[in-house]
Amino acid sequence: MTYSGFRLIREALTGHGGWKPVWRNPEPQSAYDFVIVGGGGHGLATAHYLAKVYKKSRIAVLEKGWIGGGNVGRNTTIIRSNYLLPGNEPFYELSLQLWEGLEQDLNYNAMVSQRGVMNLFHSDAQRDAFRRRGNSMILHGSDAELLDADGVRREAPFLNFDNARFPIKGALMHRRGGTVRHDAVAWGYARSADRHGVDIIQNCEVTGFRIEQNRVLGVETSRGYIGAGKVGVAVAGSSGKVMSHAGMRLPIESHVLQAFVSEGLKPVLPGVITFGAGHFYVSQSDKGGLVFGGDLDGYNTYAQRGNLPVVEDVCEGGMALMPIIGRTRLLRMWGGVMDMSMDGSPIIDRTGIEGLYFNGGWCYGGFKATPASGMVFAHLLATDAPHDTAAAYRFDRFEKGLMIDEKGVGAQPNLH
Ligand SMILES: Cc1cc2nc3c(=O)[nH]c(=O)nc-3n(C[C@H](O)[C@H](O)[C@H](O)COP(=O)(O)OP(=O)(O)OC[C@H]3O[C@@H](n4cnc5c(N)ncnc54)[C@H](O)[C@@H]3O)c2cc1C
């Protein structure tokens, strides 16, 4: 079924009886050519591009829970292409370009909204760093604009400009950045993958790999053994756990990140705003809620819930930046498990085991990467060669000292 304005009107006039389930609910087959472990944004996008762009068939996505239950449905929905390093920026620019055409590609309204991302700066040194980053973005085909304090005031007059411990001196504005409705991305990719013949199997946890003579033959699951020509693992926060079944120890730690939504307010925020003197970022949903987040909870965990000290810390950041939210009530909050790599950048690579491929280490920035991650992982699975824009995301960069350390903070996941 194709979605369109015409279809919507017809259904509205006929009692909405014609809508069909968005994807099938197939029983697992005994074997597939490609098994993708993890039905988050990255796994589903991989299956979509593998089938649609690389014309592969006999593909299954195995998800231990339900589609949209992982980080893809838990994030603060920000997309952007505003990185500094050559290993990163071309990849995130590819991703933003794919976001720009995503709804047409999927025939699904994911509410892609390029409302702009404004990174505030509060010191001369920060201005220099942002100018440098903006230049790098422009050189890689992205957009960047340096605003002074008056420029920021025109965009967001309600911010705490002068009466603050860290006065706002300006911002790096990235107008093509913005937000996307996160769970619609999972549903849109799932629907399109299904339409291209991919079996999406929910409630199917991968509990082990069958490996013989250093070659993966299939996966053990809670619904029985499933044979596979190639296995691609894209389980985000569960990367360490799942890859340990193949005897691998990853340069990744798992931490919780929390997100918050306030009660609905009249439209006030023009786009995404990030605080440069504390860890706080905020946008406003179409329903009016302020959607915001901050720092990681410090400890390692696989639990999808956070703790109260971080709630206090994030709300303090919000108050320092925009005191007008002081009387706003918090409506909802939740946590997701982040796969924090040791340099803050992802890994998309073959493993030492023939036929086993890995995609992870997304830290708290993997939502914006979803389309490009799916595209390049599909490329790797289909061709056995890394995609040009992801050539730097290899396991061996940690061995060789070729880290892609965007923030220059080393192996401290809590600082990435
Ligand atoms: C609070 C929060 C805010 C964030 N904000 C942003 C943001 O604004 N912008 C941004 O770019 N990124 C953001 N992120 C990060 C982003 O959400 C993640 O990096 C990204 O979603 C990870 O990829 P995914 O969608 O594939 O993960 P997931 O949706 O977590 O998918 C992984 C899937 O694997 C499944 N799985 C795990 N183990 C198994 C198994 N053994 N067998 C089968 N399936 C398994 C899980 O159930 C899960 O569904 C945020 C994350 C959080 C938690």
Nearest CA to ligand 1 atom 50: 75
**Residue 42 near ligand 1, beta carbon < 6 Å:** yes
Instruction: Give the tens place of pLDDT for each residue, 362-380.
Output: 999 999 999 999 999 999 9
pLDDT score recorded for residue 101: 98
Task: Read off the pLDDT of each residue in 384-400 and give the average, rounded to a whole number.
Answer: 96
Task: Measure 211 CA to ligand 1 centroid, in angstroms.
Answer: 26
| Percent of the chain whose pLDDT exceeds 90 | 94
Contacts within 8 Å (CB) and 24+ apart, 167-171: 167/122, 168/120, 168/121, 168/122, 169/121, 169/122, 169/123, 169/124, 169/126, 169/127, 170/120, 170/121, 170/127, 170/130, 170/146, 171/118, 171/119, 171/120, 171/121, 171/130, 171/146, 171/147
pLDDT score recorded for residue 412: 87
Instruction: Give the tens place of pLDDT for each residue, 259-274.
Output: 999 999 999 999 999 9
**Residue 259 near ligand 1, beta carbon < 6 Å:** yes
Instruction: Give the tens place of pLDDT for each residue, 26-80.
Output: 999 999 999 999 999 999 999 999 999 999 999 999 999 999 999 999 999 999 9
pTM of the complete model: 0.97
d(CA 277, CA 168) in angstroms, rounded, equals 9
Task: Measure 69 CA to ligand 1 centroid, in angstroms.
Answer: 8
Residue scoring higher pLDDT (163 or 394): 394
pLDDT score recorded for residue 415: 82
Strand blocks (E) in 202-288: 206-212, 215-221, 224-233, 252-264, 272-274, 281-284
Task: Measure 366 CA to ligand 1 centroid, in angstroms.
Answer: 7
**What is the bridge-based pairing of β-strands 199-201 and 356-360?**
unpaired
Ligand 1 mutation pick, 364, 375, 377, max ligand atoms within 8 A of CB: 364
Task: Measure 130 CA to ligand 1 centroid, in angstroms.
Answer: 28
**Residue 63 near ligand 1, beta carbon < 6 Å:** yes
Q: In this structure, are residues 172 and 118 in contact, taking their beta carbons and an 8 Å threshold?
A: yes
Q: In this structure, are residues 414 and 296 in contact, taking their beta carbons and an 8 Å threshold?
A: yes
Residue scoring higher pLDDT (245 or 410): 245
Task: Measure 68 CA to ligand 1 centroid, in angstroms.
Answer: 9
- The sign of the CA dihedral 291, 339, 51, 218 is negative
The pLDDT-based confidence of 409 (bands split at 50, 70, 90) is confident
**Residue 39 near ligand 1, beta carbon < 6 Å:** yes
Task: Read off the pLDDT of each residue in 235-255 and give the average, rounded to a whole number.
Answer: 97
Task: Measure 94 CA to ligand 1 centroid, in angstroms.
Answer: 20
Instruction: Give the tens place of pLDDT for each residue, 106-138.
Output: 999 999 999 999 999 999 999 999 999 999 999
CA 182 to chain centre: 9
| Percent of the chain whose pLDDT exceeds 70 | 100
- The sign of the CA dihedral 296, 45, 377, 86 is negative
Nearest CA to ligand 1 atom 48: 70
